[in-house]
Amino acid sequence: MGANSLLSRVKDMTSRVVDSFIPAADDDEYEEYEEEQQRTEQISAQTQRTAVTERRVANGGTVSFSSAAYSTSSSTQRTPSTGDGGTPLTVHTTKVAELKVRIHRPRRYDDVGTAVIQLKQGIAVAVNFDCLNDSERRRVCDFLNGACYVLHGTARMVSSSIILYAPKGVEVSETPARAH
């Protein structure tokens, strides 16, 4: 027996085994499968064109827009920092961050816990010390100064008996007095 006849017998056996496990597909089934694939590709392409895109903007928010309205030609290159045709995408907002200020008038040392909780929540606290004697005033002031320091806030004296404690991110500045 020659090598060629052995090789041809192995090929025949392999093809019979393959044909028994994987039957030959009809041409009609293949054409239907191909048409279905094309329809699926068309639907996904259409979905991608009308998909809503979100982009991060300078103030930390996001802007949503339909990418179909901003179609680009193939000659322009898109980058993450640009909008459709290479034009920088910039959004400005007039929304101002909301600042809350609470006024506290503690009558004893135990009354300042709520002021610290509000500082932790990002609420500025104005504390009026006129109802406290000197020793309690010193204790309350030390406690609030420590809490403000730990929270990276600021403390400013408004008057001889009122101190403003502002949380992190709130800038407190004094305006110079005008001379009349």
pLDDT tens digits along 81-108: 444 555 555 555 566 667 788 999 999 9
User: In this structure, is residue 73 part of a structural domain?
Assistant: yes
Both tokens assigned to 33: 């499968």
74 with 109, same domain: the answer is no
Counting as low any pLDDT under 70, the low residues of the chain are 1-3, 18, 20-30, 45-97, 179-180
- Of 45, 44, 57, 52, the C-alpha closest to 70 is 52
117 with 86, same domain: the answer is no
* Residue 3 burial (C-beta neighbours within 10 Å; 0-12, 13-18, 19+): exposed
What's the count of helices (H) and strands (E) in the chain, helices before strands? 4, 6
85 with 111, same domain: the answer is no
Select from 93, 124, 153 the last residue of a domain: 93
Q: What is the pLDDT of residue 91?
A: 59
Select from 58, 93, 128 the last residue of a domain: 93
List the domain range (segments joined by +) for residue 155.
Answer: 101-166
3-state DSSP call for residue 133? coil
- CA dist 35 and 32 (Å) reads 5
Percent of the chain whose pLDDT exceeds 70:
61
The answer to whether the CB of 167 falls within 8 A of the CB of 147 is no
Q: What is the pLDDT of residue 36?
A: 84
Report the CATH number that the domain containing residue 148 is assigned in CATH.
3.30.110.150
Q: What is the pLDDT of residue 73?
A: 47
User: In this structure, is residue 55 part of a structural domain?
Assistant: yes
